[in-house]
Amino acid sequence: MPPSNYINFQRFLAAKKSVDDSSINRHVLHHLAKELANRSYPGQLQVVEVGAGIGTMLERLTGWQILPDVCYQAIDLDPANIKEARRLLPVWSSAMGLEMTETPDGGELFAKDGSRHIAVSFAAMDIYDWIAGQGENKTFDLLIAHAFMDLVDASRALTAMRSVVKKDGLLYLTANFDGITILEPPLDPALDRHILSLYHDSMDKRLVNGRLSGDSKTGRHLFSRLSEQGIGLLAAGSSDWVVFPAAGRYPGDEAYFLQYIISLIETTLKGHASLEAGSFRRWISERRSQIEQGKVVLIVHQLDFLGFVS
């Protein structure tokens, strides 16, 4: 785990929201909004988000007026994420002027105003177990996966995910890492490159339950992965994270976001045979100090996609 000052994953996800808000590709988002507006849905739009975290994508799309009347299922493996998503939903709904109600058993939350009715349910489950439980039902008009596809075997995940999406239904896949991480200013350029190369390499070798789960170039590979799965491409574009201090200060909680990224690098590479331990410790310490001083710029290359099940 990252050092004790930077182990709150839910805080990291909350801090990441402002970074993601800025990075979401507006061209792809516009195509999503246009597709939803131009299609006719009997009853509510049926949406599932896999790897939903603390619900920031639902909050974002609601706040940006992208979602019409919707039945939204949020799936995440981590019960702590789901617990925080349930806690936050009434908070941001109220801030948007939405009236909140809840079913007696607590299974669903409802947010509504004069023009929208949003029904939300949560499940803390492995997505493959959840999808297997759906059987042959192609229930969903839209599947969302945000900052998720680079953590899994994309081909296996797409096979599973498309199985629950209706014919011509949409897949909105955002913040897919594509092999470039830049930290400025440089400390030791050669060491910087070596550390980030090893960090990317660790993504390609990540094992979950004995399976390779991850790809440091997921973004570019999704073009072929989508085609292989019979998913047509409607739009694609870059969604790079660009985190920088304005007048020496980071917006919101983005300093914590940066510190968490440095902690992930530290945890992932600690004890690596090709890194001299003392040099690596100093590199981590200097990066943390730079963040505290408001001097670090982070650029991460990512891609967004909008596809449909053909």
> How much of the chain exceeds pLDDT 90, in percent?
85
The Cα 168–Cα 234 span in angstroms is 11
Q: Which domain holds residue 25?
A: 4-309
- Choice between 177 and 248, residue whose per-residue pLDDT is larger: 177
CA distances from 101 to 80, 107, 133 (A): 22, 11, 27
Whichever domain contains 190, its CATH number is 3.40.50.150
SS3 labels along 50-97: ECCCCCHHHHHHHHCCCCCCEEEEEEECCHHHHHHHHHHHHHHHHHCC
pTM of the model as a whole: 0.95
Q: How many structural domains compose the chain?
A: 1
pLDDT at 105: 76
> Whole-angstrom Cα distance, residue 155 to residue 149?
9
Q: Are 307 and 171 in contact (CB under 8 A)?
A: yes
What integer pLDDT is reported at residue 112 of this predicted model? 87
> Rounded to whole angstroms, how far apart are CA atoms 12 and 2?
12
Asked whether residue 127 carries a pLDDT value surpassing 90, the answer given is: yes
Give the tens place of pLDDT for each residue, 132-170.
999 877 889 999 999 999 999 999 999 999 999 999 999
CA–CA gap between residue 183 and residue 181 (Å, rounded)? 7
pLDDT tens figures, 225-274: 999 999 999 999 999 999 999 988 999 999 999 999 999 999 999 999 99
| Residue-wise pLDDT tens digits, 72-100 | 999 999 999 999 999 999 999 999 999 98
What is the distance, to the nearest Å, from the Cα of residue 94 to the centroid of all Cα atoms in its chain?
A: 24
